[in-house]
Amino acid sequence: MKTKNKLADILMILMVTVFVTSCSNDDNNISDPVTNPDPTEENKSPEIFNLIAVADGEENVDVKPTFSWETANDPDGDVVMYDVYIDIKNPPETLYGENLSTVNFETTERLEVSNDYYWRVVAKDSKDGRTESAIHSFKTRDLTIPNEPITPNTVFNGRQEASAIVFSDKLWIIGGSDGQRFNDVWYSEDGENWTEATSSPQFSRRTGHTSVVFDNKMRVIGGYDGAYNNEVWSSIDGENWTQKTANAQFSKRSSHTSVVFDGKMWVIGGQGKGKRFNDVWYSEDGENWTEVTTNAQFSKRNGHTSVVFDNKIWVIGGYDGNYNNDVWVSEDGVGWNQVITEPIFDKRAGHTSVVFDNKIWLFGGDTPDNFSNDIWYSANGNMWEKVTDNTPFSERFGHTSTVFKEKVWLIGGYDENIYLNDVWVFD
């Protein structure tokens, strides 16, 4: 009996020992965040990589370049995506391409001509690891000047002092003169093939008028039809025209300028019967006009140009009894400041000016010595750079220029021999 009890005691001791040992082993398998850490392995960012093209310091780069760079290998095998930054400032901050899976990028949004740019690429993995490339700089090409016009002779007559505007995704030419005045209206969807919208609109044959697009309508303002006038006309299709006023509050005139600025149409300077003007007017409807100044700081003139640039109105050159090459600017149309007194381009009138690629461009005109076919530009209205003083298009004045489909268009004019109807395009 004692033997059985002793055997039972031994078995009980063994069972307790096994249980305690087992529990002790299980406890050792429980992770202790202090004594037995087991964190997730730290993410490693993509490796350093190099930019390939556009090369650092490269010049004459196209306005729609293709960029490329080396693959950024990821130590963890994560998928790597790329962001491309391009800017005129350093470091570049404008995002052009995002989450790219390839190591190249072709811009669809054109860059500006004659500009210094900077670019960089950021490689990203799926765990927020980031590696930035070095920053490269480059300069875009100059304005492209073709050797031949897109068309040497359009279907409409050669002419000077017509007006050109862009409306309804078309390029329009209105009126002008070849010694005989016109009031025909033409349009083109490509600058090469032209269609006559009407040969006899409701307004008279005229020259030296201005045209703008305002409130989703084309506008024709003033001009000379055998007499100076101050009419204002509008159209939504180029064929049918409505007279907004037969006698605007400003004096009858031609060879003035018009712009759209601050939600208004503006008329600046020009010439009337026996006199010139330096007054400035605006209208919010084309019918009612308000004079903001009778006598602006610049001289009374005609044949000048006006553009809106940097949220200001600019007046360039013109004829006040003498040719001018002065440049004036205003933030409100009331007060005018002369930017420079002696620009490096020749004094002139009958030239054209447009704003393109965030620069003011000037084309040709009538100078004291001869007609001109030079091209100039300025990024600030103060400092001017010459593109060329002898373009393939003939020396001329009274031509028209505008910006259409991301290009500059120059049409017609007079070259001292003939009235022109050629069409040139620059980009």
Q: Quick: pLDDT tens for 369-381.
A: 999 999 999 999 9
CB burial string 133-142: b at 16+ within 10 A, e below = bebbbbbbbb
Q: Quick: pLDDT tens for 39-92.
A: 567 999 999 999 999 999 999 999 999 999 999 999 999 999 999 999 999 999
Asked whether the domain spanning 163-426 has the same topology as the one spanning 51-140, the reply is: no
Q: Which CATH number fits domain 51-140: 1.20.58.1030, 2.60.40.10, 3.10.180.10, 2.120.10.80?
A: 2.60.40.10
- As assigned by CATH, the class of the 163-426 domain is mainly beta
> For the chain, what is the mean pLDDT?
92
Q: Which of 329, 326, 286 is nearest to 307 (CA)?
A: 329
Q: Quick: pLDDT tens for 396-421.
A: 999 999 999 999 999 999 998 999 99
Q: How is the chain split into domains, by residue range?
A: 51-140, 163-426
Tell me the pairing of strands 58-61 and 136-140: parallel
Three-state SS at 25:
helix
- Residue 343 confidence (pLDDT): 75
Q: Kindly indicate the confidence band of residue 112, based on its pLDDT and cuts at 50, 70 and 90.
A: very high
- Tell me how far apart the alpha carbons of residues 384 and 316 are, in angstroms, rounded to a whole number: 12
Q: pTM above 0.85? A: yes
- Residue 390 confidence (pLDDT): 86
Whether the Cβ atoms of residue 197 and residue 156 lie closer than 8 Å to each other: no
Structure letter (DSSP) for residue 75? T
Phi and psi, residue 25, nearest 5°: -65, -40
Contacts of 209 (CB under 8 A, 6+ apart): 163, 174, 175, 220, 221, 222, 223, 224, 254
Give the DSSP H or E segment for 58. Answer: strand 58-61
- Residue 40 confidence (pLDDT): 60
Q: Quick: pLDDT tens for 12-34.
A: 433 434 333 444 444 444 444 44
- Tell me how far apart the alpha carbons of residues 351 and 383 are, in angstroms, rounded to a whole number: 19
- Residue 7 confidence (pLDDT): 41
- Residue 340 confidence (pLDDT): 78
Q: Which of 313, 293, 292, 318 is nearest to 303 (CA)?
A: 318
